[in-house]
Amino acid sequence: MDDELKARIGVIAGKLAQEVIASGLTWDDAVVALGLAAKAVAQAAAGAGHEPASECVALARRRFEDAFARDVSVIVADSCAPKRDDGADENPLLATARRRQASKLY
């Protein structure tokens, strides 16, 4: 897997993790939801004619389980308390970026 693909997967995984956290599901229910999503993607691939559904689902299951063998880093930040530094007041773009980062969209 090349660096660009790793970065793209990391972005999607991060977004999924944020959505799961925001959903209010328990962690084990969230894992079920992610597993169902993986199976749905596999079935959609089969429907698009890639391979038979059973093969797509079997591959998705292996890939999903293989993902658990990978190392991950999780950083949980409180988005309600934007970080400030000495340069924030002097740099209006930095202050705007921090406000946007701290806001939640629903």
Q: Is the pLDDT of residue 16 over 70?
A: yes
What's the pTM value of the predicted model, to 2 decimals? 0.60
CB of 16 within 8 A of CB of 36?
no
Residue numbers of the domain that contains 46: 3-75
Q: Same domain for 65 and 106?
A: no
Q: Same domain for 82 and 38?
A: no
Q: Same domain for 49 and 64?
A: yes
Give the model confidence (pLDDT) of 26-74 as tens digits.
Answer: 888 988 998 999 999 999 999 998 789 999 999 999 998 998 888 887 7
Q: Is the pLDDT of residue 87 over 70?
A: no
Q: Same domain for 11 and 46?
A: yes
Q: Same domain for 59 and 7?
A: yes
Q: Same domain for 58 and 85?
A: no
2 vs 102, more confident: 2
Q: Is the pLDDT of residue 24 over 80?
A: yes
Q: Same domain for 13 and 57?
A: yes
64 vs 91, more confident: 64
Q: Same domain for 46 and 62?
A: yes
